Amino acid sequence: MTAKTDLTGTVALVTGATGGIGRATVGALTEAGAQVIASDIGVNAQVDGAAMYAPLDVTSEAAWADVIGRIEREFGRLDILVNNAGISVTNSVAATSLSEFRKCFAINVEGVFLGTRAAQPLLARGGEGREGGSSIINLSSVGGLRGAAMMSTYCASKGAVKLFSKSAALEFAALKLPIRVNSVHPGGIETDMMDTIFARYVDEGLFPDMDAARAAVSAGHAVGRMGRPAEIAEGIAFLASPAASFMTGSELVIDGGMTAR
């Protein structure tokens, strides 16, 4: 760790903290010195390294107000917001219900909007006098950069996250608020969510079994393998730090060369 990536004295909120990337992000930010509030839909979840766990339904305005109020009371500041909570929808357009589509957008897109709006005043205060200001990191995906069969709903939601991030970054800069906003675009990562996607591919007959699906997705990365949650978490920690002080409105693509093809 260098002085530029040291997060000592900062306070971070991570949503979707019980999933693969979420847990790894809590660990990476904690290791860098941040006090991390881990949040997810579960009431009494345990996340190693977290300074506090806070149940949070990211689709609820009231829940966001509660968690931000709790952070202000207990820590007095917020420097980093990682909007990581998300779900996947692996289905054909014809078979996707409107309720399924709306649920995906409620979590993946509205959750990012509600979190950004709720945390903005506290982040603006926390960013004063800090090199690079405060940082919002929104989890998009390679699916927010290009389409994929059976993933139209998911890709649409992640594309929305990308452009919301860029617009918020420009808005905060125009208003001279000390908050940077960037999006992260992972490739295929070894998580439970990815296994669920593989299972749907098999169910739809795109691959004969899970091993074949995994092999095909791994081969789609130039490095010949899927990524690990910790590799995404390290990129998130970088964006949260003063080392990324010149980055806002950017897309940090961590995809093993998938989109370089």
Positive/negative CA dihedral, 199, 201, 204, 206: negative
Within a domain: 193: no
- Is 213 inside a domain boundary? no
CA distance 114 to 106: 10
Any domain includes 221: no
> What are the φ/ψ torsions at residue 16 (nearest 5 degrees)?
60, 40
- Give the CA angle between residues 61, 67, 70 to the nearest 5°: 140
Write the CATH number for 179: 3.40.50.720
In the chain, the number of structural domains is 1
In a domain, 44, yes or no: yes
CB 120 within 8 A of CB 68: no
Give me the residue label for tokens 């290009």.
146
Domain membership of residue 139 (yes or no) is: yes
Query: Can you give the residue range of the structural domain that contains 164?
Result: 3-188+229-260
pLDDT per residue as tens, the chain (261 positions): 677 889 999 999 999 999 999 999 999 999 999 999 999 998 888 899 999 999 999 999 999 999 999 999 999 999 999 999 999 999 999 999 999 999 999 999 999 999 999 999 999 999 998 999 999 999 999 999 999 999 999 999 999 999 999 999 999 999 999 999 999 999 999 999 999 999 999 999 999 999 999 999 999 999 999 999 999 999 999 999 999 999 999 999 999 999 998
Q: Round to whole Å and give the CA distance between 221 and 92.
A: 24
Whether 208 maps to a domain, the answer reads: no
- How much is the pLDDT for 186? 98
Quick check: is 27 in a domain?
yes
Closest by Cα among 14, 19, 85 to 229:
19
Sign of CA dihedral 181, 84, 63, 8: negative
d(CA 112, CA 164): 9
Model pLDDT, residue 55: 97
Query: How much is the CA Rg of the chain, to the nearest whole Å?
Result: 18
Instruction: Report the sign of the C-alpha dihedral through residues 230, 231, 236, 242, in that order.
Output: positive
Q: Where are the alpha helices (DSSP H) in 76-138?
A: 98-105, 111-127
Pairing, β 251-254 against β 35-40: unpaired
Phi first, then psi, for residue 37 (nearest 5°) are -95, 115
Contacts of 140 (CB under 8 A, 6+ apart): 158, 159, 161, 162, 165, 183, 184, 185, 251
Q: Is residue 28 part of a domain?
A: yes
Is the Cβ–Cβ distance between 169 and 181 less than 8 Å? yes
Which are the catalytic amino acids? 154
Distance between CA atoms of 47 and 158, rounded to whole angstroms? 26
